[in-house]
Structure 1
Amino acid sequence: MNIKNGFIGLFGLLCLFGFLFGGVQVGYGLVDDFNDNASVDDIEDYRLSFEVSLMDELSENQIGTEISWWIAADTHLGHTNYQGELQTAVEDINTVPTDYAVILGDLVHDGSSYVAEFDETMNKLDHNWSYILGNHDFDSETNEPVKEVNYFSEIVNGVQVIGISDEDGDQKDKTVVGPEQDQWLRETLEENSSKPTIIMSHHCPIDREVTSFEDWLGEEIDEYNVVLWISGHAHKWDYQEDIDGFDFDRLKITSIYHWGWGGAQEEQSIILSFEGVDENTSMVHVDFRDHNTGEWLHIDDLNPPNLPFVIAMIIAITSIPIAILTLHARSNR
């Protein structure tokens, strides 16, 4: 009887393991179907593209040009498992035609000790770069930012690109924007309200209950021509359209730093390109890069189920009927 009880208990634990861990992908939540959620004009095997209309005409010098930015996130220098992934990524990006780079937060991991190494590695890029802060870019004891709170706005082939930083490391999964940055953002959006705009931040503005988003911008963001919001933090790929009724789409990019979980799609990033098509039209392209292999990623290869997910689901599926049959057999004795 004790053996039977132990057998049943074991499978019960396996069932629990399967449900708890089988439903958790690296990052947050299950993988979304990238193709079904992408609201873009064209999805090729390796590129997402969408067209934006311009109120202000491009110059002759801009028409026919393509300007490319390397956008990456979550480098986490100083984490115990860090193995030089940023160095590998920089070496790979230097083989790709790019004009600028932005790292979307979590540059280091909870302290300033590795800021110098981060800067030194980024300065090996063949072009200029910038950054915004994430929740791990604050000292774990003082909550002071390890680098200057940075935010910026650039016009690239008629498209406005805005980067905003977190300002409170205690809010691990929320964006906190101080009064000065808040005022700057509102004024920048108002000043260039006719321009199609891409906003970049560490946290997604909708998921994870962004702090006071309704008060911060809320529905008034639809008064501006925001077409896309790019964020990091989740360590996984995701693209969804018109989140919670807002008119912009959302792109979450995965991380440069590799947590070490089996099968995680990390050490990857995007190239964001701005192509001047004609006087009143630009195309925005998103290409996906694997820095380990130095190859472009096929859309269908983004976020495959990882090994722990597959194993856990197999355990859950097989253990439940066995446990039920065992209980049934026991009740008949």
Structure 2
Amino acid sequence: MSRRTFIKNVSSASLVMLGGSVLNLTPAEAQRLGKKTALRFVVASDGHYGQEGTDYVGMYDTMIKNVTSFHAQNPLDFCVINGDVIHDGKDFLPPAKAMLDKLPVKYYVTKGNHDMVSDQHWNDVWGMPVNHDVVLNNNVLLLATSSNEKGEYLSPDLAWMKAKLDEHKKKKNIFVFVHIPQSKWESFSLETPEFLSLMSTSKNVRGVFHGHEHKEDNVKMKDGVPYMFDSHFGGNWGTAYRGFRVVELMPDHSYVTYIMNPTEKINQAKF
């Protein structure tokens, strides 16, 4: 599919600008801005590989095919799989990784509450720790766990997070990925004022990405920081579609974001 095919089905888009202000976009505006993209990535979450009673292999395969098709017309720099890669069972992790290895670009993962394996096992499988940072020129990804081997709902390691924010304070854009929301927007979210304060006082945090809440596919603002959801691509509940979020960073460091549901573009935002 061409970008024009995606754009014509837009129901909403947002532009996120430096300083945190947000503008709604028309399809024509989103198409024009997308041609100037300096960095483009996809965020998907909640694949729940291994969940009984679901076609988890088929749902993984569909997501990978849709991302690959999107990438063919709108080249991606990387993907993030933001938690609940598997559904509880430790033995599901290697085959889930084997499927994700079919993605057309480099990808990173975060650990969610259904990823019920030890931190060491996670590191052994992925070759990356449960808390890690990725530097891409003037952009930084902070990927943090919000659970443990028992599947408990946890806040991220705030000491690690603060240290990384301090380390990268001169970078232009920091994007934070944490599976479980840390504000009580929904029944399955936590309330962690310290995390929210850390995000709002770190002026180069441009967006926080959450999974976990399968019914959420929108952007919530708190203290000038966009908190973004991407629905789900697996599991047995949530939005009627299984999709993924796209972020397109512009040369001026504003960015457009929208949901693919999974072949039509919805909920676009510019920051």
TM-score, normalised on structure 2? 0.73
**For 1:194-273, what aligned pairs fall within 5 Å after superposition?**
194=170, 195-207=172-184, 208=188, 210=190, 213-215=192-194, 217=195, 219-225=197-203, 226-236=205-215, 237-242=217-222, 246-259=223-236, 264-273=239-248
Tell me how far apart the structure 2 counterparts of residues 186 and 205 of structure 1 sit (CA, whole Å). 16
- In structure 2, the CA distance between the partners of 1:220 and 1:267, relative to structure 1 (3 Å rule), is closer
- Structure 1 counterpart of 2:206, which letter? V
- 1:87-236 to structure 2, matched below 5 A, reads 87-96=61-70, 97-139=75-117, 147-148=122-123, 149-156=129-136, 158-170=138-150, 172=152, 174-178=153-157, 182-194=158-170, 195-207=172-184, 208=188, 210=190, 213-215=192-194, 217=195, 219-225=197-203, 226-236=205-215
In structure 2, relative to structure 1, the CA distance for the partners of 1:204 and 1:44 (3 Å cut) is farther
1:121–1:209 CA distance, 2 compared to 1 (3 A): closer
SS of equivalent residue, structure 1 residue 113: helix
Structure 1 counterpart of 2:250, one-letter code: E
Using the alignment, how far apart are the partners of 1:258 and 1:177 within structure 2? 24
Over 3 Å counting, the alpha-carbon distance change for 1:40 and 1:105 in structure 2 is same
Deviations 1:268-304 (A, max 9, x none): 011222222xxxx22322132133xxx222339xxxx
Aligned to 2:253, the other structure's residue is in SS state: strand
After superposition, the Cα gap between the structure-2 partners of 1:65 and 1:43, relative to the gap in structure 1 and judged at 3 Å, is: closer
Aligned length: 232
Q: Using a 3 Å threshold, how does the CA distance of structure 1 residues 77 and 69 change in structure 2: closer, same or farther?
A: same
CA RMSD of aligned residues (A): 3.1
Kindly state the Cα deviation for residue 201 of structure 1 after the two structures are TM-superposed: 0.8
1:248 counterpart letter in structure 2? V
Structure 2 CA distance for aligned equivalents of residues 66 and 169 of structure 1: 38
1:40 corresponds to which of 14, 22, 32: 22
* Residue aligned with 1:267, SS: coil
State TM-score, norm by structure 1: 0.61
Letter in 1 for 2:45: A
> Are 1:299 and 2:255 matched, yes or no?
no
Note the C-alpha offset of 1:220.
4.1
Name stretches of at least 5 consecutive residues in structure 1 with no aligned partner: 1-33, 52-63, 301-333
Letter in 2 for 1:90: I
* Greater alpha carbon shift after TM alignment, 110-119 vs 264-273: 264-273
Which residue does 2:254 correspond to in 1? Answer: 283
Identity rate, percent: 15
Partner amino acid, structure 1, of 2:85: L
Give yes or no for contact 1:48–1:286 (8 Å, CA) kept in 2.
no
Q: Highest Rg: 1 or 2?
A: 1
Q: CA distance change for structure 1 residues 287 and 156 in 2, over 3 Å: closer, same or farther? A: farther
Aligned partners of 1:68 and 1:274 also within 8 Å: yes
State the Cα deviation string for residues 79-113 of structure 1 (Å, max 9, x = none).
Answer: 01331211111112112221211100000001112
Distance 1:106 1:113, change over 3 A: same
Change beyond 3 A, Cα 1:91–1:298:
same
SS of match in other structure, 1:241 = strand
